[in-house]
Chains A and B, each alone.
Chain A
Amino acid sequence: MSGTGHTVKSYEEEMQSLNDNLVMMGSLTESQMADAMAAVIKVDKDSVDKIVKNDGKINELRSVIDNQITTVLVKRAPMAVDLRITISTMKISHDLERIGDLAKSVAKKVKPLPVDLPDELIGSLRRLGDLVQKQLKDALDAYLNKSKDKAIEIWKKDEQVDDLTNLAMNEVATYLQKDKKNLEMATHLLFVTKNIERAGDHITNIAESLYYLIEGEYLEGARPKGKPIES
């Protein structure tokens, strides 16, 4: 943020390490999300265990970051931009952890799915997945570049996520109406869709935290919302 570093070098190092850990957590989450989406689309049941296992790493990183933040708060009593970095990092790390959890849940739903998933069912889901992944990637880029405009863009795009979610859910609902036997599979798919949508919400949270970090103010106005699910 600032041209000059802290007078106290160890403070600077602590903040740098916090940043590094968050970036690492972000890239881990990103690949988890990608893996989970790929597993769903391909119904790749073998990769599920690996995804579930990798989630542990994210959780670990989160507790590392939590610890670091407590230490910084106690030791440095951060002010102004440092305070905002610390607070936002904490919030972002929590959001990332939740996204990781959601990716894990998504992956877990692959197991009960039939191998031959009809294309018509996952068309919108794939698009939703791609969009959320792109959002996550953008969010992480925005964090690295401390880009306020990117954060606003991401925040606004959540509307699209919501719209796509509705679309995907409608598809599943239509499929469900065709044959009651599809109930179990459809339920799983609905959960997958909902989880991805919630991951999108967390990404919006990240964008908000990012905006506060950069601007010192909260993003004003109501959150963009997609149309509610038509019943």
Chain B
Amino acid sequence: MELNNSKIKIKAKNLNVFYGKKQALFDINLDINQKEVTALIGPSGCGKSTFIRCINRMNDVIDICKVEGSVEIDGAEINEKNVDVVTLREKVGMVFQKPNPFPKSIYDNIAYGPIIHGAAENKDQMDNIVETSLKKAALWDEVKDRLNEPGTSLSGGQQQRLCIARALSVNPEVILMDEPCSALDPIATAKIEELIDDLKKSYTIVIVTHSMAQAVRVSQKTGFFHLGKIIEVDSTEKIFKNPANKMTQDYITGRFG
């Protein structure tokens, strides 16, 4: 697999993150390619979630969190003071570990993003956004007859796809997924993976996962994090067949600790 063909969408340079006095990320340098799935693996607390939260600046919410270094999206620095996080998060959507639909109707769940960004001028446009988002998330057929039911009434897998649809509703370019399948059964997981396969045609996806098998299945590039450092980044095939670093090898073959 050639890595150099694809255009770099996100570029992290010398990224350091601190929670209070504790340093969570050390000098992270990572390139994420456009329209490709990049998987981040590593033991719990290794900083992979912290890293993807740097990409949409979700760490801003945490008072004690301090981010140093640079993250560029399409060559533009996002860690500048004058970068508006609202606009950034419109561009960089996020899906979380536990499905977290708003306790509102399915329709309102999708419509919320477009409403606050003023994306729709009238009801028809909004209906259209809701429909396309749900279709992109492969959920439309299952929920089209019950858009007014609460999003929380759906099954876990459907809720997660609803959350993906919600992320898609504001037309992002990048989707960050923080262990999106860890709360789901294998069938629901398979559906999400199928969806990821489909979405990578139009979106840049970064996925954090604890399932090595999932990383192999969905991603083209894999990065291994350990103790806040990035140990190895390479094509997924290389990482899982013949990693260069012994630590990576030990981790993925279950020889850790």
Q: Taking beta carbons and an 8 Å cutoff, which residues of A are in contact with B? A: 2, 4-8, 11, 76-84, 215-217
Contacts of B242 in A (CB 8 A): 80-81, 84, 215-217
Q: Taking beta carbons and an 8 Å cutoff, which residues of B are in contact with A? A: 212-213, 216, 239-243, 246, 248-250, 252-257
Taken together as a complex, chains A and B put the C-alpha atoms of A19 and B240 apart, in Å, by 22
Contacts of B239 in A (CB 8 A): 80
Identify A84's interface contact among B212, B213, B241, B246, CB under 8 A: B241
Identify B249's interface contact among A2, A7, A76, A217, CB under 8 A: A2
Nearest chain B residue, comparing its CB with the CB of A87: B241
A5 touching B255, Cβ below 8 Å: yes
Taken together as a complex, chains A and B put the C-alpha atoms of A7 and B257 apart, in Å, by 7
B241 touching A2, Cβ below 8 Å: no
Contacts of B213 in A (CB 8 A): 77
B243 touching A2, Cβ below 8 Å: no
Contacts of B255 in A (CB 8 A): 2, 4-7
B241 touching A83, Cβ below 8 Å: yes
Taken together as a complex, chains A and B put the C-alpha atoms of A63 and B252 apart, in Å, by 28
Q: Which of B213, B241, B246, B256 has the most CB of A within 10 A?
A: B241
Contacts of A5 in B (CB 8 A): 255
- A109 CB to closest chain B CB (Å) equals 42
Contacts of B243 in A (CB 8 A): 80
B253 touching A82, Cβ below 8 Å: yes
A7 touching B240, Cβ below 8 Å: no
- Top 6 A-B residue pairs of the complex, sorted by shortest distance between their CB atoms: A216-B242, A79-B252, A82-B253, A4-B255, A80-B249, A6-B254
Taken together as a complex, chains A and B put the C-alpha atoms of A123 and B213 apart, in Å, by 56
A216 touching B250, Cβ below 8 Å: no
Nearest chain A residue, comparing its CB with the CB of B243: A80
B253 touching A81, Cβ below 8 Å: yes
Nearest chain B residue, comparing its CB with the CB of A11: B254
A78 touching B241, Cβ below 8 Å: no
Taken together as a complex, chains A and B put the C-alpha atoms of A11 and B212 apart, in Å, by 17
Nearest chain A residue, comparing its CB with the CB of B213: A77
13 A-B pairs within 8 Å (CB atoms) are namely: A2-B253, A4-B255, A6-B254, A7-B257, A77-B213, A79-B216, A79-B254, A80-B242, A80-B252, A81-B242, A81-B249, A83-B240, A216-B242
